Amino acid sequence: MIPSLYSKMSVCRNRGALAAVLTVCLLLVLIGVSVSPASAGQQDTEPEDKSFKRLLLLPYPFFNDTIGTGLGVAAIAEGYLQRQMLTVGSVLASAEGTYLAFLMVRNCQVPWLKRLILDPQISSGKFQDIDSFTRSSAAFSNQRPGSNESDKDNFIRADGTDFWVEFKMKYLLPVGSGKDAVFPELTVEDGVFVSGDTGGTVWNPFKSGRTYIELTPFTRNQDLDDEKDTVQETNGIDVALSYDNTDFRLNPSNGSYQRVFYARDWGAFGSSAPWTVMGAEAAGYVSLGPSKNARQRVIALNFWTVDCLTWNSFDVEANETVFHQPPTYKGANLGGLWRMRGYPATRFHDRAAIYYGLEYRHTFRFNPLKHITLNGRLDVDWFQVCGFGELGRVAPSWTLSTLHEDMKWSAGGGIRTMVNNIVIRADLGASSEDAILQLFIGHPF
């Protein structure tokens, strides 16, 4: 559906920006194919209808400088197996030899343990001519790639494969708004929160919001067909405590979100090295209310930081020193889909990182596709523009003064839309090094 969804190795460069924006538009107007006759005419504004099902299939063209020219098919399924479940899948193939496949499930409730929610996702892809900051190029042999001071041209280019699985399990604690109901009872009008028993009020986990204990086993294997056959493989577990005090997590107007996490790879099952990472993130949302041409105006703020506790530890194997450091795509990295969007994926990586983000989100009253429903299979809730600014830095130690010196910046804007309860975004970020268009699903924070 959104090709950069499948791998943080892939980014869209500015030369393909117009084609990428057109891709988003085409997703909204191509005819969907339903395989659930009972769903015809039903809308997602009928939460009491337990039989609600909707399946939308969309073919789409795609082009960017990384993948080239491609064709794909995306599927969005709602209400299958369980009323609240959402499933997204897509496959893509390009004329240049790249292929991508992705499957994501959200809000799957374990029947015999109602408070346990499963959010698994899996991706597999093969890429041609990927720019990777894992090793120095020949011209920068004395420089560490990915460091805060590294040159933007210090990368290698090679074909590669990327396979990863994350199986997130969230247990809802019986406190706050999660005391009586696992999923919030909300009144949402065209993708914007109206009322309901959820967060967005005073910060107090015992009175509002939802608190989760998270356990996420993960595995990822990223291989490059370069002169050293570079392999980055990790297998481990992410443990976290999160507190969602937003009014509507999918598209918040008010409230906040916090998460602290601990990730560990013990070096088993073929991992490149054992490592331990700790981190925290926080987001806040302030509603500016509606205006003459806006249904929703929101200031969104984000903070994120990470430190690798085992960075300087090492083993000696076959006369080679193996440091206990995570792969470049895991741990303290900046650039790509989520943080520092004006840089390519994992452009910066080191032991520690810090990040600050700010967005202004302006949701229009005008919606040209509001009444195009394809017999109930398509539901476009809104269109939105946003502007954003970002500051961040990686460093060889988690030192507050160092992390706030010589910080990198990124700024830009984007176009977003909510389609069948999924936020689709196209964000164009600029930096001192590049201008990159990132396509993905969901707000970055």
Residue type, 187: T
> Bridge partners of 307?
278, 352
Please give the helix or strand (H or E) that residue 400 lies within, else none. Answer: helix 400-403
- Indicate the domain borders of the chain: 125-441
Distance of CA 274 to the CA centre of its chain: 25
Whether 445 shows a pLDDT value over 50: the answer reads: yes
Q: Is residue 10 pLDDT above 60, yes or no?
A: no
Please give the Cα distance from 246 to 284 (Å, whole number).
8
Locate tokens 């809802």: which residue? 172
One-letter amino acid at 217 equals: P
Q: Are the beta carbons of 388 and 438 closer than 8 angstroms?
A: no
Contacts 24+ apart (CB under 8 A), 260-266: 261/214, 262/238, 263/236, 263/237, 263/238, 263/239, 263/326, 263/330, 263/331, 264/236, 264/237, 264/239, 265/234, 265/235, 265/236, 265/326, 266/236
Give the confidence band of 52 by pLDDT, cuts at 50, 70, 90: confident
3-state secondary structure of 178: helix
Q: In the predicted model, what is the mean pLDDT of residues 44-53?
A: 56
Q: How far, in Å, CA of 305 to CA of 285, rounded?
A: 19
The pLDDT of residue 338? 94
Confidence of residue 350 (pLDDT cuts 50, 70, 90): very high
Class of domain 125-441: mainly beta
Ranges 2-6, 387-391, 401-405: which has the least confidence? 2-6
Q: Mark 184-193 as b/e (b = at least 16 C-beta within 10 Å).
A: bebebebbbb
- Quote the radius of gyration of the chain (alpha carbons, Å): 22
Residues 275, 225: Cα–Cα separation, whole Å? 25
For residues 375-401, average pLDDT: 96
Neighbour-count burial of 148, counting CB atoms closer than 10 A to its CB (0-12 exposed, 13-18 middle, 19+ buried) = buried
In the three-class reduction of DSSP (H, G, I as helix; E, B as strand; rest coil), residue 325 is classed as coil
Residue 192 in this model has a pLDDT that exceeds 60: yes
Q: How far apart are CA 403 and CA 398, in angstroms?
A: 7
